[in-house]
Amino acid sequence: MSDGGELDGKVALVTGAAMGIGAAVAELFAERGARLVLIDRSPELGGLAERLGAAAVIGDLTDPAVLDRTVATALDRFGGLDILSNNAGIQRYGTLETTTDAVWDEVFDINLKPMFRLAQRVVPHLKASRGAIVNMASVQGLASQANVVAYTASKHAVIGLTRAAAVDLAPFGVRVNAVAPGSVDTPMLRWAVSLADDPAALDAAIDAMHPLGRRARTREIAEVVAFLASDRASFVTGAVYVADGGLTIPLGGAPKPSETAR
């Protein structure tokens, strides 16, 4: 519950809210006064929603009927909508040659299509409130590692959707932005690490990739989402906020001292 804050009275719909970044966003929004509608396919959502005093919809975001029910829940319970925070996502592995149609479709059906479909459904209400959309992208929407062709393509598409929607909706006062995290301590990352032959070594390597020497906490990413959803970001739209601990800055290789002056 909240004692009031910068989101006081705002109605926010948060997807992927049962765990990870989505749960952190929901908790921070509640602390700052937002009234919440949370959606996730995991039954674990119920406990979080009860603790936060939020409305909960447990269902699959790939089902248009579930999306309709989620928006209807926000309107029936709170009478409007101010913020859409899209966080649901999955990671799958494969190269251009090894990724199957089924894997490609699964990744896009979860990482991209629900953002598009939900935005279509909530835009009339966001126009009325001059609200905001914050989409969860990734640094892999700006670059790529090996063996993640579907995931990287989906996150590039999230950024494209964000920018296109920002242009379309700007005349109506609706802002659309994205967050591009580096590695974040989430159940999805822990699952990926568990697949490695040496999980401890991979954990150490992940932290070492970031100039800050560690992965992000979910709360740190939620803070960026909350900023973009708030009136503090009233002149920010179409932006991709990189929160990666410096991950995308270093170039590969280490020049010799004699080469640094060139």
Which residues face 127 on adjacent strands?
A: none
Give the angle subtended at the CA of 131 by the CAs of 126 and 132, to the nearest 5°. 110
Alpha carbon distances (Å) from 26 to 146, 199, 214 = 32, 30, 24
- What's the rounded Cα separation, in Å, for the pair 75 and 65? 15
Buried b (16+ CB within 10 A) or exposed e, 110-133: bbbbbbebbbebbbebbeebebbb
Q: Which two tokens stand for residue 39?
A: 């959606």
**Helix and strand numbers, DSSP H then E, in the chain:** 9, 7
- What's the rounded Cα separation, in Å, for the pair 121 and 105? 22
- The answer to whether 89 and 131 have CB atoms below 8 angstroms apart is no
Question: Using CB atoms within 10 A of its CB, is residue 247 exposed (0-12), middle (13-18) or buried (19+)?
Answer: buried
Task: Please identify which of the residues 151, 176, 244, 245 carries the catalytic annotation.
Answer: 151
Q: Is 151 a catalytic residue?
A: yes
- The answer to whether 65 and 105 have CB atoms below 8 angstroms apart is no
Looking at residue 243, its amino acid is A
Which residues are annotated as catalytic? 151
